[in-house]
Amino acid sequence: MSKKQKTIKKEVTLSGVGLHTGNKVDMTFKPAPINNGYAFVRIDLEGKPIIEASAEYVVNTQRGTNLEKKGVSINTSEHVLAAIVALDIDNIIIEINAAEPPIMDGSSKHFIQALEKAGIQEQEAEREEYIVKEIISYKDEESGSEIILMPSNQYQVTAMVDFGTKVLGTQNATLEKLSDFKDEIADARTFSFLHEIEMLLDNNLIKGGDLNNAIVYVDKEISDETMVKLKEVFKKDSLTVKPNGVLDNLTLRWANEAARHKLLDVVGDMALVGTRVRGKVIANKPGHLVNTNFAKKLQKIIKQEKRNNVPKFDLDQPPLMDTQKIMSILPHRPPFLLIDRILELSDKHVVGMKNVTMNEPFFIGHFPGAPVMPGVLQIEAMAQCGGVLVLSSVPDPENYLTYFMKMDKVKFKQKVLPGDTLIFKAELITPIRRGICHMQACGYANNRLVVEAELMAQIARKTQE
């Protein structure tokens, strides 16, 4: 059963400090249009640059998942993204006046609360979901960390943590369904080991840290010098180590809070795939590096499968439109009419067909010794399919002409040869407005993608003679 996309009803703002900078940060969640996805906006910079939450923009994973696009950064994005995913939100704008979201208490709890305050609403567009059909895995050989994704009826995550330390030991956590995230995972706070804290202090980081937003596991003896630094950064007159190995008076919310937080990180990092996933994630010793490398791999797999999603049609069935019907809509005529049939047509998409024969007039001069259909004519044929789509939106198509406005992201994947049957599919990217049609078009032959492009065309009424 398909689901509608969702966004928030109204904007909501949180304020806090960045974990590593210690600077005050204001972050505002805003509603976003359909198919927007998750996007950060740096309102403190000129032009208010946008950084989409995509695995392709991950630049490093030191102490968090850090994104960068055209020199503009967003750091430690995972806790915010986990909350958005958990509340089943598809489209949102995150305005922020710094590179780093506020750390709050080191969990996703406060982001969940803010988004619930804003309210969730459905949108008039179907949600895209990637259904896992076979096992997909990624392993980091150096660390032994591994992510496995397998088929499941819903999105599930299991995290298995083993840092090889006595103080933390081996822990597991499982999320059976996203609706459990708020009560079972969202409150789990970020954590560090004492030896990591020492390194961060030496590098003048964690200026925003205190004992309320990071669990510190004491995995070694605390030197007097380190104790002085810890008291200073945490603004405490005294510090102690509790029997469970946690620094000072912070009380764990669960015995396996570390594993739950690692699961939280997996959910946030997997948001960078950019597509909802129906499958079970098993993360063994997860970390931001292995999480985001897996997200990059999955993102590429999804894009490749989309490209190779060849439409299947029974070409022996009568077409929706034959050549004569097409010519009653389009102004094109042979030899420049480049589609033979229309197989499907709705208010949002069109599917057309062309039989490429040796008798095509362009083969006479285009590589006559090794005939190949010119790429520009493949684009023209797809555009003519789009012309049928946009002209079908007016009651008198015979009184209109279609004109190219723009073509973008054009790619030719395979040669088109005499004897090939080309299937073209064009889908609207945005609704037709003022006679302007913006569409994603693909051409297939021999069960393979041969050409793709984003096309924009406009219809205009014929001038009276």
pLDDT in tens, 157-194: 999 998 777 777 789 999 999 999 999 999 999 887 87
187 DSSP assignment: T
- CATH domain 4-188+257-307 topology: Ribosomal Protein S5; domain 2 (3.30.230)
Mean pLDDT of 139-157: 95
Label each residue of 115-184 as H, E or C.
Answer: HHHHCEEEEEEECCEEECCCCEEEECCCCCCEEEEECCCCCEEEEEEECCCCCCCEEEEEECCHHHHHHH
Smallest CA-to-CA distance from 183 within 117, 86, 115 is with 86
- Known catalytic membership, residue 79: no
Smallest CA-to-CA distance from 387 within 319, 354, 339 is with 339
**Where in the chain do CATH 3.10.129.10 domains reside?**
323-461
Active-site annotation holder among 288, 332, 349, 438:
288
**Where in the chain do CATH 3.30.230.20 domains reside?**
4-188+257-307
pLDDT in tens, 437-456: 899 999 999 888 899 999 99
CA dihedral 152, 156, 160, 161 (to 10 degrees): 150
| pTM attached to this predicted model | 0.71
5 versus 169: which is more confidently predicted?
Answer: 5
- pLDDT surpasses 90 at 71: yes
Among 115-129, 159-173, 201-215, which range has the highest average pLDDT? 115-129
- Does the domain spanning 323-461 belong to CATH 3.10.129.10? yes
pLDDT level of residue 462 (50, 70, 90 thresholds): confident
pLDDT in tens, 16-66: 988 766 789 999 999 999 999 999 999 999 999 999 999 999 998 987 999
- Known catalytic membership, residue 261: no
pLDDT in tens, 282-337: 999 999 999 999 999 999 999 888 766 777 777 888 999 999 999 999 989 999 99
